[in-house]
Chain A
Amino acid sequence: MKKDVLVKVCLAATFLALALWGGLPLLRHRHFDIPVVKGPGVTAVLRLSEFSPGLKGTAGDTNVYVLEGREPGGKALLLGDTHPNEPEGMLSAIVVIENAVVEKGTLYVIPVFNNSGSRTTRPGDGYPLYFDVVTDGGRRRFRYGNRDASPLDQWPDPDVYIHYPEGQLLSYIDVRNANRTWPGRAGGSLMERVTFGAMELMRRQKIDVAIDVHGAETMYPVTNCIVAPESSVKIATLASLTVKAMEGFESHVEPSPSGFRGLSHREIGDHGPALPFLIESPIPFLDQPTGPKTTKFLLDGKDPFLLALSKKKKLFVPYDESGWPLEKRVGQNLSVTLEILRQFSKKTAGRPIALRGVPRYADVVKNGVGHYLADPARAASGGVILN
Chain B
Amino acid sequence: MVMIAYYLITAFLLALLVWNFVREKSRRGDLVLYLLVILPLLLRLLRWK
Distance between Cα atoms of A15 and B36 in the complex (Å): 8
* A124 interface residue per 8 A CB criterion: no
**Listed stretches A3-11, A83-91, A132-140, A349-357; interface member:** A3-11
Distance between Cα atoms of A23 and B46 in the complex (Å): 14
Residues of B in contact with A, size category: 10 to 19
Q: Is the interface of B mostly helix, strand, loop or mixed?
A: helix
A7 x B31 contact (CB < 8 A): yes
Distance between Cα atoms of A12 and B32 in the complex (Å): 9
* A19 interface residue per 8 A CB criterion: yes
- In the complex, which residues 31-47 of chain B have their Cβ closer than 8 Å to any Cβ of chain A? 31-32, 35-36, 38-39, 43-44, 47
* A155 interface residue per 8 A CB criterion: yes
List B contacts of A4 (CB < 8 A).
25-26
Question: For residue B2, which residue of chain A has the nearest CB?
Answer: A156
A11 x B31 contact (CB < 8 A): yes
B32 x A11 contact (CB < 8 A): yes
Which of A15, A23, A153 has the largest number of chain B CB atoms within 10 A?
Answer: A15
List, sorted by A's number, 27 A–B pairs whose CB atoms are closer than 8 Å: A4-B25, A7-B31, A8-B21, A8-B31, A11-B28, A11-B31, A11-B35, A12-B35, A15-B35, A15-B36, A15-B38, A19-B39, A19-B43, A23-B48, A27-B48, A30-B49, A59-B49, A152-B47, A152-B49, A153-B49, A155-B3, A155-B6, A155-B44, A156-B2, A156-B3, A156-B6, A158-B2
Interchain residue pairs A-B with the least CB separation, the first 6: A15-B35, A156-B6, A152-B49, A4-B25, A11-B31, A19-B39
